[in-house]
Structure 1
Amino acid sequence: MGLHRGVKLRHVRAFLDVIDQGSISAAARGQGISQPALSKTLAELEAMLEVELLSREGRSVGLTPAGRAFRRHALQALQQLDTAVVAAQGGTSSDMLNVGLLPTVSGGIFPRAALEFAKDHPGLRMSMLTGPHGFLLGQLRDGRIDLMVGRMPAPEDMPGLRFDFLYHEEIVLVGRAGHPLAGASGAQVLQQAELILPTQKSIIRSTVDRFLLSAGITEPKMRFETVSLAPGLGLVESSDLLWFISRGVVRREIESGTLEVIDLGAPFLAGSVGLTMKQSTADRFEIGGLAEALRHQIMLSGLELPRERQLEP
C-alpha cells in the first residue's frame, strides 16, 4: 500500500511541527492557526494512513511506534525535496551537519543520539567540535557550526538565537570513592574541602558562585579550575579535592563508583540543557532529526523530558 493520494505536504508539516514543538497548541501558535484547525489536519492524516501516529497525554504529545517510523521517513523525504528545490534553482546543498558540543553532553547522551541520527539519515555526515561555551557560541555566530548542544546561554547572548530545551541537569560536587567528607553535612564540607571550580568563562560558574555565596562561603578554598573530564578526574582520583561539575560530564564515573557525589542538599544547583541555533537555520530538517534522536535517548536514559518546548527570543 503506497501513499494515500489525499496526503498533502501540509499534513506532513503539521505532524512534524507538533512533534518538534512538543504540543499541538505550541505548533498551532507557531503556524498562526487555531488549535482545532491543526487537530483536524492531524486527524485527517491519521485517518488516511489508518494508523495512530501520536499519543496524547493532556497538553503534551508523543510518538507511537508507527509515528516514529513515519517521522523518520518524512524527514528524509522533505530533506530530499529541499535538496531538489536547491538543485533546480542552481544552488548547492550541504550533506554535513556541524555540531558544537559542551562537555556536559559530549561523552554521555550525545554519542548514542549521533548513532541513531546516522542510522535514520544515511545521506548525511556529522562533524563534531568540542570546546568551552564562549568559544562554541562564537563558532555558531560565525556560521562555523550549525548548532550547539549543552547549557542554555545567558539572556544577553540570545539575540538572534533560539534555544530548544531538552532536560534539566544538576551541578554536583564529586570526590573520589571513599572520600573522608562523604556523609558530612553540607556546611562542614564547604568549610573544610579544597575545591575544583568550573572555569571563570564556563556557563555553570556563575551558578556555583551564587550557591557558595548563599552558603556563606565568600572565599572558597579553590586550587584548580576546569570543566574538562581528563584533568578533573585525574586531580580528584589522586587527592581529597572536591569538584563542582555538571553531572553529565562525570555520569559514567559516578555510575561505575569511581567518583562519589557529596550531598549538599541543594536541589536548585541545576540548569537547562538543550540545542542552541540561529533563528535563521532553526527549521533545517537535519537539526529536527538530531533533536528527535536526542529526545529519544533522553527518554531511554530516564531523564525527564519537558512537556512543552521552551524557546528564547
Structure 2
Amino acid sequence: MHKGIKLRHIRAFLDVHEEGGISAAARKQGISQPALSKTLAELEAMLGGALLIRRGRKTYLTPAGETFRRHALLALQELDAGAMALNGEAAGDVVTVGALPTVAGSFFPGVALDFTRSRPGIRLSISTGPNLYLLERVRSGALDLMIGRMPAAREMPGLRFDYLYEEEVVLAARSGHPFTGQPAVEALRHCDLILPPRGAIIRRIVDDYLGAQGIVEPRCAIETVSLATGLGLLESSDMLWFISRGVIARELAAGVLVSLPLGAQFMSGAVGLTMTREVQERPEIAQLVEMLHVAAQRRDQG
C-alpha cells in the first residue's frame, strides 16, 4: 500500500460511495464537507487517478474506483478480523445472506438449518428485501451473498452469479376460484391482477407474457411480491397473482392456492447465488455454497 494512505482515506472513499454523495458521507462521519473532499483529493492524488465522478450532488465510481473499492473492502474486513481475533472472536463467526422472496420461504430454510447444525460455531444472519437493495449490500460487503433470481446484466459488474436451478413464474389464485381449470387468458381478461412491482426481476417476464396475449393495460391496482400481502389479497377476493412458484410453494402444496396453466415455455428464469469473486475463499462460505448446490440437485431430482 502507498505509505501515505491512511485508514481515514479508505473510510472516506467507501462512505462516499455507500452514501451516494460527499454531503451525506460527511454527515455520517461527523466532519465538514470540505474536510472530506480534501481527504478524497489526497487519496486520488496518491493513487494517480480519479476514483469518483461527481455529477451534481451524486457521485459514481470510475473503473479505477470500482477496482479500488473491492480491494479496500477486503482490507477493512481483514482489519476487522484481526481485531476480533485479538478479542477472542473468530473472524468467520457470522455468515450474512440476503434471501429474495423466491427462496426465503421454501428452498433456503432447510439449507440454513443443515448448515447451522454442521457448523455450531457459526451464526447465520439472513436478510430479506428488494433485489436492488440486497445487491448493493453484497457490493458493499454488508452481505456475503444473495440467493434468488439472476440479476440483470447491468447490475452484475464486480459480481458473479452461480446458477442453482430454473424456476417458473405462475398465475396464482385461491382454492375454489371460479376460473380454476380454465384457460389463463380468459381469467386475465375478467379478473383484477396483482403484478410484481416495477423493478422486480420477474416483472419483465410477466409484461412480455401479457403483451403476447394482447393485454396491453392489465386490470392491476396492486403490485407486490410479499407472500403475506399477496396471500391475504387472494384469500379475500377473485384476484390473480403473477409470482415466482418458490414464494408460494407451501401454499400450493397445501391446496390453499392453485396455479392456472399459462401455456408458455418462457415463464421461467435462473435462480442462484450472487456474490463477489473473493468471498467464496472463506471455508464456511464455500461449505454453504456446496450445500446449496446439493439442495438444488435434490430439488431437480425430486
TM-score (norm 2): 0.68
Cα distance, 1:303 vs structure 2: 2.3
1:172 to 167, 170, 173: 170
1:44-63 equivalences under 5 Å are none
Is structure 2 residue 209 aligned with structure 1 residue 211? Answer: yes
Identity across aligned pairs (percent)?
A: 49
Match of 1:160 in 2: 158
Q: Is the 8 A contact 1:167 1:304 kept in 2?
A: no
Paired positions, count = 218
1:121-270 equivalences under 5 Å are 121-270=119-268
Residue 273 to residue 102, structure 1, CA distance change in 2 (3 Å): same
- The Cα offsets for residues 136-182 of structure 1, whole Å up to 9 and x where unpaired, read as 11111111111000010100111110100000001000000011111
Inter-partner Cα distance in structure 1 for 2:170 and 2:225 = 12
1:285 to 263, 283, 286: 283
Inter-partner Cα distance in structure 2 for 1:295 and 1:164 = 9
Inter-partner Cα distance in structure 1 for 2:301 and 2:267 = 16
Q: Is the 8 A contact 2:175 2:257 kept in 1?
A: yes
Match of 2:292 in 1: 294
Q: Is the 8 A contact 2:92 2:284 kept in 1?
A: no
Cα distance, 1:267 vs structure 2: 2.6
Give unmatched runs, 5+ long, in structure 1.
1-82, 306-313
Runs ≥4 in structure 1, deviation > 4 angstroms? none
Inter-partner Cα distance in structure 2 for 1:94 and 1:118 = 13
Inter-partner Cα distance in structure 1 for 2:99 and 2:211 = 29
Q: Is the 8 A contact 1:114 1:293 kept in 2?
A: no
Give unmatched runs, 5+ long, in structure 2.
1-77
Inter-partner Cα distance in structure 2 for 1:226 and 1:151 = 16
Inter-partner Cα distance in structure 1 for 2:202 and 2:283 = 30
Cα distance, 1:294 vs structure 2: 1.9
Q: Is the 8 A contact 1:148 1:275 kept in 2?
A: yes
Across the aligned residues of Structure 1 and Structure 2, the Cα RMSD in angstroms comes to: 2.0
Secondary structure at the residue paired with 1:164?
Answer: strand
Q: Is the 8 A contact 1:176 1:259 kept in 2?
A: yes
Cα distance, 1:95 vs structure 2: 1.4
Inter-partner Cα distance in structure 2 for 1:131 and 1:138 = 11
Q: Return the letter of the residue paired with 1:252.
A: R
Inter-partner Cα distance in structure 1 for 2:300 and 2:111 = 14
Larger CA deviation: 183-192 vs 198-207: 183-192
